[in-house]
Structure formats: C-alpha cells, structure tokens
Structure 1
Amino acid sequence: MRLLRLVFLGMLLALLFDAKQGVAQEFKLKGAIFEYGSKIRIGLAVITNKRNLSSVGSNDIGLFEIKAMVGDTIVITKRRYNDLQLVVGSTKDMVLYLKREETLREIVVQGESKKQALDAIEKDFKDKGSFYAGKPPIALLSPFGGSPLTFFYELFGKTPRDARRFRKYRETELKESYTDGFFNKKIVHENTGLEGKELEDFMLNYRPDYEKTKNWTVYDGMKWIKDSYKKYTATLK
C-alpha cells in the first residue's frame, strides 16, 4: 500500500511539474508588421493564436503582443492583404510582412492604365479645338468677354459632337472599371468555384452596378458575391 502511495505521489508531482513547465513556456510574443516590399507599417491587423484562440490587433505603428508558446500557429489577417500563417519557432521578437492582394492590385493597375488611355483621347479632342466636349457654358454668350462663336461651335460642330459622345463613353468605362475591382472572373471564381458557362451566366445575372459599388469596401464586394451565389444555387435547386 505504501508503495502504491509513493507511485501515486510521484505521478502527481510529475504532472504538476509538467503543468508548471507548460505555464512557464508561455510568453508574450512581440512583433511588428510591415507591408511586403516597403517600410509601411500595418496597423489594425488581427493576430490570432490558433492554440488558445486569443486575438489582438496591431497598433498604429504595426506593433503587437500576444500570449504564445513555441510551436503555436499564429495567423495574421488584414483587409486587402493576403493572410499570413506561421509557426512560432522561438521567443524572439518577430518582423512580419503582409502582401497586398494581387487581384486587387492588378485591377487597380488595369483601371489606371485605361484611365490614362481615355485621358489621352480626351486631350486629343481639346487639341482639335473642343475645350468643352460639346457642352459650352452659357457665359460664352455674354457680350462682355464671352465668345458666341465658340458657344455655337461647341453645340453644333462635328469635333465637339464626337467629344460629347466620347465623354459619355469615358464616364461609363471608368465606372465599369471601378466595379471590375470588386466583381471580376478571378474573384468570383475564387469565392464560388464556378467555371466556364456557369461562371459567365453568374457574372451576367448578378453583376452589381456602379451606384452600388461606389462606396464599397473589399468586404462588401465579397459579401455581395457570397449572397448572390446563395441565390444562384437556390435557383438551380
């Protein structure tokens, strides 16, 4: 009986020792978060420890502290950036880098390129003498410093008429390019898994208009796609 008690006490002490060691191994992991390829610090990123499910946010200069143990998996998320997941390898401070979402960057670049091309065409109309794109101000009819000839030329001339049509086209194209940043084949495919004709049909039937998207964030765009996909699958059923 005495031997059994000794064995039991030994096991209990071992368990208490292990527990103490486990607590001792937990520490405050400190780090800083930067944008990949630059010196920009990222604030308001969410840092989550998958083991104990604790979460903290990085401050305005990208610094954070979170309870962790060596071997824990840490996940860093931030809107408009790709998620970063890593394993804590030591108790040393960490410097982390988040990459911007490539899809968003590509759309922004494409949109800027299109805008530059459209601006160049509009400048060409001005070089040809149409300064008001076919919509002259009424002040041009004033006998005091006005220019009635310019006013009537802008109203009825061929070049201003073409410029007026082009300006409408330009406005439409820029609005559509902006909406493309939230609703394009790559983003829709990644969030729905649709391909081929199904993807084409979905994008045709559920594309949001500019009035909806003009004040959107990336989160709003993702929510629209997911909500629309639920409607789409319900229709198939």
Structure 2
Amino acid sequence: MIAVQSLYAQYKVQGTIYDSSRTYPLEAVSVMSTSGKGTITNATGFYQIDVSEKDSIWFSYLGKPTIKYPVAKMLDPHQFDLALRVPVNVLKEVTVRPRNYRLDSLQNRQDYAKVFNYQKPNLGTMTSIGAGGVGFDIDEIIRAFQFRKNKSMMRFQQRLIQQEQDKYVDHRFNKALVRRLTGLDGEKLDQFMTAYRPSYEFAVLTNDYDFQSYIKESSKKFKSGTPF
C-alpha cells in the first residue's frame, strides 16, 4: 500500500518557457523543485521534471528566480508554460541570397539612385515654364553655384559607374570560365587574367561566341610567350 501511494504521488511537470512577449522560447532556463531535483530548458524552451505531489517548482534565468509554483495547484502539469519578464534582443530579418551580378547591379542602382541620376546644373535644368511663361528655377540657380558639392557628387557618380563597369567585366571574364577554356590555373591563371583583361566596351559589345574565342586565342599567345 505504501509503495502504491508513493507511486501515485509522483508527477511529471512539463511545458515551455517563453520571453515576456510569448513569442521566443528561452533556452537554458533552470527548473528546480523543492525536493532537490532540477533540469534546464532545451533549444525550444521545453522542460520536463519529475516531482512529488507536495513539491513546488520555480524557474531561474540570468540569475533571476521566479516565485514557487505548488504542483498541487497546477491545472495541467503536462503543459505548464510560462512567460518570463526578460529582454530578448532579436535582430531584424535578414535575407541571404547567392551572388548574382544582375541583382547586385540593380540593388546598387537603387541604393545610390540619387547619385546615378545626378545631373550637373545647366541652362536646361535652370529653366522652368510657369503661368507667367519661361523663367528660371531659383533652387537650380543656387545649386549651380555650389561648386564643391557639385564636383564631389560628379566624382562620386563617376566612381560608382567605374565600379559598376569593372564588376561587369569581372562577371563575364571570370576565373571559372577562363580556367575551363584555357586550362590555366594558379599563378599562371592570375597572370593571364591580368594581362588579357578586356575593356568594358569589348565586354558589353561582344557576343558569347566571340568573347570566348578571344579568350582561347589569347591563351595561345600567352602559352607561346607571344607579346600581347
């Protein structure tokens, strides 16, 4: 009889521990009972602990313990979930995507749209047509005399355009393609790509067949030691 009573006096309390918003489960929360047993929550915030009918359990996170919860007063010991008042720093959603020249280029154009679309003030931008006829835009006239700002913006625009062109050449004249067509590798491959790197205009205007022919013919010259 004593053994049977002892068996029925045992409980298994389990549940999930969340942050104060009840959105994010908390890992490594200590779960302890007055009988001396203890456990911690897993990566999903879940815990499970064996207790007796007269036990109470409490939780501790980052050194801050909760009140004690009597097992006998729990409505559902098999789903005793709890939200702790602790701050949880959550990063904003980050989208990770593979490298893609076209997507990168479009994103760059969006990020620096103001710079790419910049036009140096001239008579055309200063002229406006209103109710009184043709006149001058005062804001454009003021902008025209901001010499340092205009020069800085033009230089920035030119640098972005140059970077975009360089990336386009890198996109077409890439190591994977050159290695496949020439059989070169290592230091020889690096030397070839530096010596025979095509211009942006050539990369833009040449179709795939002619572009690959250029690489093959150039590799013959490179291997034979013929000056380029």
TM category (shorter chain) comes to 0.3 to 0.5
- Name the structure where helix makes up a greater proportion of residues: 1
Task: Output the TM-score relative to the length of structure 2.
Answer: 0.46
